[in-house]
Chains A and B, each alone.
Chain A
């Protein structure tokens, strides 16, 4: 546990070195926030009522929490593990006394932490200053929201980790990564809230792990999901986190048996 915590802090420090990159990310997230907020408010004005349980202040919260969490949750996935599998460096990871999945998860949690503080929260505050935004309605929502963000980071990490491990069997996983990014981007609730989807698309989204990466924490923090529904939203996330981490372990073990590293 102590090692895990040290690795989290190392990830945090590693990514906090690039301050200009954090500021740049925050600026870009904010510009997209302005555009998306304008579009969704126009849609609400045109509909005349709330859409899918989102009225104007909660929609604003949807947009800015989404932009704030975009850098925190690794929605687009990462390529580091894939590259290490391809070059054979993953063998070094296997030799270490910490399980590779746990080590990379710790690093990703550190990365998420600095991105939330250095990049996400400033964008959120900017949005809150310039728009009429709904805050989490109660202390329960704040706490559950924080837990939900943590789970979202874990779900996104463990999903992308499995995809990365496919490099044990495939020469080039770019196509699969791309497919993951496109479906994920659409179904996680970054562009539009999942409740706005037509029924069939919403059904697909709800059966996939993607809403657990963004829509669920946003729903809780925006106050669209309250009371007992919070428990089920978090429960779904716990399910996906455990399922994908377990799947990652299975795939990692299979890959380890397959791995052949040349050279002395």
Chain B
């Protein structure tokens, strides 16, 4: 009974998402180009890691395989989050054009509508680069496989996606205040993604604290990778890796607050 009401309540979203997906695949050539484009973005990000390791053997305590694992985990989570909620980035242009009001008159929650307003299928390009990198990293690295390792990997991808989605949502909430200054939030969404790809040992302590406790992107890839590979970093003990979901929950707490403040602040476009 409860199941049925839930599925009935989710039906509008299913219909919406399916229509977005179909719409994108109408223009086949354009869709394929877009996917190739995001593959290119993924490869360019990878090239950065690869060029550094062309010059050095170890970066921030990680060898190439370990760095590849960090790269893969963070890119996987980021492209999933980007696919589901990355288009919240468009909010400033909706606000400026007065289109947010149109969402308000529809009988579904604003955030849920915005999230389902697009499903950027083209991002599967970058996602596939991340998946290949993850496959290569997991097979070449020296990992003591156990059920706990597998659980940790799954947990990391889910929580990492939650953390990046929370960052996008928090950014969306702040857009109601910023409008012209929309680029501020790129500092922690795209900046956070850039920081998440790195060995956290490269950062001086204040930055490391920032990327762990303020914008918790260290939990997306580095801390779990250290635990998976059994590496030794006194600041990233194995038990900390299991706290990744907690970081995700806290991030969502902040995101929800930002979103609520933003929508409360919004006065409409007038007219």
- Number of A residues contacting the other chain (C-beta, 8 Å)? 36
Q: How far is the CB of A79 from chain B (nearest CB, A)?
A: 13
A172-B37 Cα distance, complex, nearest whole Å? 14
Contact-residue size bin, chain B (C-beta under 8 Å from the other chain): 35 or more
B181 touches A178 (CB 8 A): no
Which among B81-89, B161-169, B201-209, B241-249 touches the partner chain? B201-209
Residues 21-55 of B at the A interface (beta carbon under 8 Å): 30, 33-34, 36-37, 40-41, 43-44, 47-48, 51-52, 54-55
A186 with B37: CB separation less than 8 A: no
The verdict on B59 contacting chain A, using a C-beta distance below 8 Å, is yes
CB of B65, distance to nearest CB on chain A (Å): 16
Interface string of B80-109 (1 = CB under 8 A from A): 000000000000000000000000000000
User: If the complex has contacts A24-B181, A42-B202, A178-B40, are A197 and B51 also in contact, measured as CB distance less than 8 A?
Assistant: yes
Which of B2-10, B71-79, B136-144, B183-191 contacts the other chain? B183-191
Proximity bits, A180-220, B CB within 8 Å = 1, else 0? 00100110000110001110010000000000000000000
B180 at the A interface (CB under 8 A): yes
Q: Report the minimal beta-carbon distance from A172 to chain B, rounded to whole angstroms.
A: 6
Check A14 for interface membership: any CB of B closer than 8 A.
no
Q: How far is the CB of B195 from chain A (nearest CB, A)?
A: 5
Name B's interface SS.
helix
CB-CB contacts below 8 Å: A19-69 with B: 20-21, 23-25, 27-28, 30-32, 34-35, 38-39, 41-43, 46-47, 51-52
Task: Tally A-B pairs: CB < 8 A.
Answer: 110
Does B266 make an interface contact (CB < 8 A)?
Answer: no
Instruction: Chain A residues near B148: list those with CB within 8 A.
Output: none
A174 an interface residue at 8 Å Cβ cutoff?
A: yes
A42 to B51, CA, bound (A): 14
B183 touches A24 (CB 8 A): yes
Evaluate contact between B56 and A43: CB separation under 8 angstroms: yes
Q: Does B198 contact A (CB under 8 A)?
A: yes
Task: Report the separation of the CA atoms of residues A20 and B92 in the bound assembly, to the nearest whole angstrom.
Answer: 14
Partner of A39, one of B34, B43, B52: B52
* Residue B60 is within 8 A (CB to CB) of chain A in the complex: yes
B52 pairs with A192, CB closer than 8 A:
yes
Chain A residues near B47: list those with CB within 8 A: 186
Cβ–Cβ < 8 Å partners of A182 in chain B: 37, 40-41, 43-44
A31 to B192, alpha carbons, bound, how many Å? 9
CB-CB under 8 A for A27 and B56, given A18-B180, A32-B194: no
Question: In the complex, are the beta carbons of A21 and B180 less than 8 A apart?
Answer: yes
A162 to B186, CA, bound (A): 29
Contact B58–A38 (Cβ < 8 Å): no
A179: CB under 8 A from chain B? yes
Flag whether B256 is at the interface (Cβ < 8 A): no
At the interface, yes or no: B110 with Cβ under 8 Å from chain A?
Answer: no
Cβ of A175 within 8 Å of any chain B Cβ, yes or no, is yes
Closest to A36 in B: B194
Q: Which residue of B lies closest to A176 (CB)?
A: B33
Chain B, residues 187-226, CB within 8 Å of chain A (1/0): the string is 1101100110011011110010000000000000000000
Residue in chain B with minimal CB distance to A17: B180
Complex contact A47–B207 (CB within 8 A) = no
CB distance from A71 to the nearest CB of B (A): 10
The smallest beta-carbon distance between A210 and chain B, in angstroms, is 12
A39 vs B61: C-alpha distance when bound (angstroms) = 12
Instruction: Considering the complex, give the chain A residue whose CB is closest to the CB of B183.
Output: A24
Q: A43-B56, A46-B58 are in contact. Are A31 and B191 (CB under 8 A)?
A: yes
| Contact of A185 with B44 in the complex, beta carbons under 8 Å | yes
CA separation between A7 and B120, bound complex, in Å? 39
10 CB-based A-B contacts, threshold 8 Å: A20-B178, A30-B187, A38-B202, A42-B199, A43-B55, A46-B56, A47-B55, A174-B34, A196-B52, A198-B54
